[in-house]
């Protein structure tokens, strides 16, 4: 095994979990998340000779993952899944606790771009400028999406219960 391959193995061990987690936050599907992470790592592997000299090779893989996700969205193959409220096979949410489960359900109902902005902003802790570059959006749009996403989360979590108490079934 060459030195580059050894380095890639270490890189894989360090980054795989993070990438898969990010993929899950974007898609709500562990299988899809794994595929995105694997795909990002395969593509990173193909240019490893160049990428391994970067300061943050993980950022490169993350960019590949986000781009891949965007491209799938464009093909409308993942967007339907973004609307997925809850899926049968996701047995991992029980560990989220009381509020987390409901908040996560609400996040999954957000439109794809709002959700991607919130995930990159509050999970990957990227500044808005970097989120804008990563998603290929103007900075103002990213700010607006983040704001609208948070407003919508607060609003959506509250409104339906009020209607029910008032006796208005949807």
Residues that bind another protein (CB under 8 A): 9, 12-13, 16-18, 20-22, 24-25, 29-35, 38-39, 41-42, 45, 76-77, 80-81, 83-89, 92-105, 107, 118-119, 122-123, 150, 153-154, 157-158, 160-162, 164-165, 167, 169-170
Closer residue to another protein in complex, CB, 55/169: 169
Distance CA 157, CA 154 (A): 5
CA distance 169 to 140: 37
Provide the minimum distance between the beta carbon of 102 and another protein in the complex, in angstroms, as a whole number: 4
Q: Using the minimum distance from each CB to another protein, give the nearer residue, 56 or 85.
A: 85
Question: The tokens of 151 are what?
Answer: 């407003």
Closest separation in Å from C-beta 29 to another protein? 7
φ and ψ of 138, to 5 deg:
-65, 150
Give the CB-side neighbour count of residue 77, counting CA atoms within 13 A.
Answer: 7
């Amino acid at each position: 095994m060459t030195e580059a391959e050894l380095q890639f193995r270490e890189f894989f061990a360090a980054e795989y979990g993070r990438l898969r987690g990010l993929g899950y936050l974007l898609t709500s599907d562990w299988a899809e998340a794994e595929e995105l992470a694997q795909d990002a790592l395969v593509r990173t592997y193909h240019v490893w000779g160049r990428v391994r000299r970067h300061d943050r090779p993980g950022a490169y893989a993350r960019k590949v993952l986000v781009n891949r996700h965007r491209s799938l969205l464009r093909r409308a193959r993942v967007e339907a899944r973004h609307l997925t409220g809850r899926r049968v096979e996701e047995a991992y949410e029980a560990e989220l606790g009381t509020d987390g489960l409901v908040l996560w359900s609400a996040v999954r109902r957000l439109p794809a771009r709002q959700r991607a902005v919130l995930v990159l902003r509050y999970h990957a802790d990227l500044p808005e400028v970097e989120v804008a570059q990563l998603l290929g959006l103007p900075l103002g749009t990213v700010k607006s999406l983040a704001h609208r996403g948070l407003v919508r989360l607060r609003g959506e979590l509250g409104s339906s219960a009020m209607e029910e108490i008032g006796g208005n079934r949807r």
